[in-house]
């Protein structure tokens, strides 16, 4: 009977850890990891004042809605390079590199900074949370136990 009471608790803790691991493993890119000049070179040929009439303008090719939603005023093509980058960093925090699906990754690849390996699943959890729990090991144990055929 006691093992029946533990199963929902273990399942709940396991599910929470798995959700946390997946959430932490998919965080948006950090703003300081982007070479905005490389993104602009790809998006607009490096012309920070471009306005081609296709609905996007500026070096980073903002739509009017995205520009305004993230604090931009007026036409992005008339904003300074630094203002466009300031707004782009806000867009990056809310939309990730998906805001620039082709050119965003090119900017991320030009930083020159070494990239940390991408952690997924239980690896994103701290090994020593508050000096009390090894959440990584607990997550691995629970996902192995709960997984089909895992025991």
Query: What is the per-residue pLDDT across 41-92, written as a single tens digit (0 to 9) for each?
Result: 999 999 999 998 999 999 999 999 999 999 999 999 999 999 999 999 999 9
What's the whole-number average pLDDT of the chain?
A: 77
Q: What is the model's pLDDT at position 6?
A: 59
Residues 41 and 98 in one domain: yes
| 35 and 99 fall within a common domain | yes
Task: Provide the residue range defining the domain that includes 123.
Answer: 2-25+118-146
79 in the same domain as 21: no
pLDDT of 29 reads 43
Q: Which of 125, 118, 120 is nearest to 13 (CA)?
A: 125
In this structure, is residue 17 part of a structural domain?
A: yes
Confidence bin at 116 (pLDDT 50/70/90): very low
Same domain, 55 and 80: yes
- Residue at 90 is within a domain: yes
Instruction: Indicate whether 6 and 63 sit together in one domain.
Output: no
- Torsion angle, alpha carbons of 87, 103, 96, 34, to 10: -70
Residue 151 in domain: no
């Amino acid at each position: 009977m006691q093992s029946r009471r533990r199963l929902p608790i273990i399942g709940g803790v396991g599910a929470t850890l798995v959700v946390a691991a997946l959430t932490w493993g998919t965080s948006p890119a950090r703003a300081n990891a982007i070479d905005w000049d490389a993104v602009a070179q790809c998006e607009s040929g490096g012309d920070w004042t471009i306005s081609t009439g296709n609905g996007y303008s500026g070096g980073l090719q903002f739509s009017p809605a995205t520009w305004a939603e993230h604090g931009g005023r007026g036409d992005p093509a008339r904003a300074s390079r630094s203002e466009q980058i300031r707004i782009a960093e806000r867009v990056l925090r809310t939309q990730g590199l998906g805001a620039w699906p082709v050119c965003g990754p090119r900017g991320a690849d030009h930083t020159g900074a070494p990239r940390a390996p991408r952690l997924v699943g239980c690896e994103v959890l701290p090994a020593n949370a508050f000096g009390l729990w090894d959440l990584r090991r607990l997550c691995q144990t629970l996902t192995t136990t709960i997984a089909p055929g895992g025991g």
